[in-house]
Amino acid sequence: MTDLKNPTSKDTVLNVSGVSKRFGGLQALSDVGIKIERGQVYGLIGPNGAGKTTFFNVLTGLYTPDSGSFQLAGKSYQPTAVHTVAKAGIARTFQNIRLFAEMTALENVMVGRHIRTHSGLLGAMFRTSAFKAEEAAIAHRSRELLEYVGIAKFADYKARTLSYGDQRRLEIARALATDPQLIALDEPAAGMNATEKVMLRELIDRIRNDNRTSQITSLSDIVVGCQRWCTKARCVDMHGITGIV
């Protein structure tokens, strides 16, 4: 991936520039920049190996970049750890689903709220009234999010028992539980059938229309119909970001 330049805006959610990442002799990212405006669904489209997931991993703190400048809603952040990036306001889903398989759908979403909680270790140990009230509020909020993504009826089901499409929805609900300003969806439609893809697109549209968050979406090999998924998209290949779709 190489340089990407977009128009400036007073309402920019994500603004990164000069991002590079090397793995030994492989230059995976080279001087990459991207700017996402509030309310956009921004797509990165390209084949496997183009660098989309590497870019996501750098943005969200899984990989430490070799260089780069990172701003979220006008404030600088350093993608050196996943929890600090999540606290700053970026949540993500994964190309391969990462859920707690033996926990219920409700518990999975509740986990996503931990960075917004205030009760400390002592409160949890002694189960203070403040801790109990916060735990009840977390459960209530998590049920609301399960309802929002359309899987409230599965709240008490273990995550591993949900269908593939519903597990994808559960990941999005967990991401929303962090109260993000930006969600990075890595290949969210991978492995879905046609019906599940339509339902996912409707959910992405709903999130955008409700002004909950901006989104950056990685879509591999989906060129036909990409305009139905994204408000703006860029093509990516082994030589970099090649143009606007």
CB burial of residue 108 (10 Å; 0-12, 13-18, 19+): buried
Question: What contacts 76, CB < 8 A, 6 or more positions away?
Answer: 69, 70
Are 44 and 237 spatial neighbours (Cβ–Cβ below 8 Å)? no
CATH number for the domain spanning 193: value is 3.40.50.300
Q: Of the candidates 149, 176, 203, which is a domain's last residue?
A: 176
DSSP state of 161: G
Q: What is the pTM of this model?
A: 0.85
Per-residue pLDDT averaged across 76-80, rounded?
A: 93
Residue 214: predicted pLDDT: 77
Any idea how long the chain is? Answer: 245
Q: What is the pLDDT of residue 244?
A: 42
- 119 domain residue, yes or no: yes
Q: Pick the range with the lowest mean pLDDT from 61-70, 112-121, 153-162, 221-230.
A: 221-230
Q: Are residues 121 and 16 in the same domain?
A: no
Whether the per-residue pLDDT at 2 is higher than 50: the answer is no
Query: Can you give the pLDDT at residue 53?
Result: 87
Sign, CA dihedral 234-235-238-241, equals negative
Residue span of the structural domain in which 216 resides: 1-89+180-245
pLDDT band at 239 (very low <50, low <70, confident <90, very high): very low
pLDDT tens-digit profile of 118-160?
Answer: 887 777 787 888 889 999 999 999 999 999 999 999 999 999 9
Tell me, yes or no, whether 137 and 61 share the same domain. no
Does residue 83 share a domain with residue 185?
Answer: yes
pLDDT digits (tens, 9 = 90+) for 17-51: 999 999 998 888 888 888 999 888 988 877 777 78
Residues 83 and 25 reside in one and the same domain: yes
Residues 172 and 186 in one domain: no
**Residue 94 covered by a domain:** no
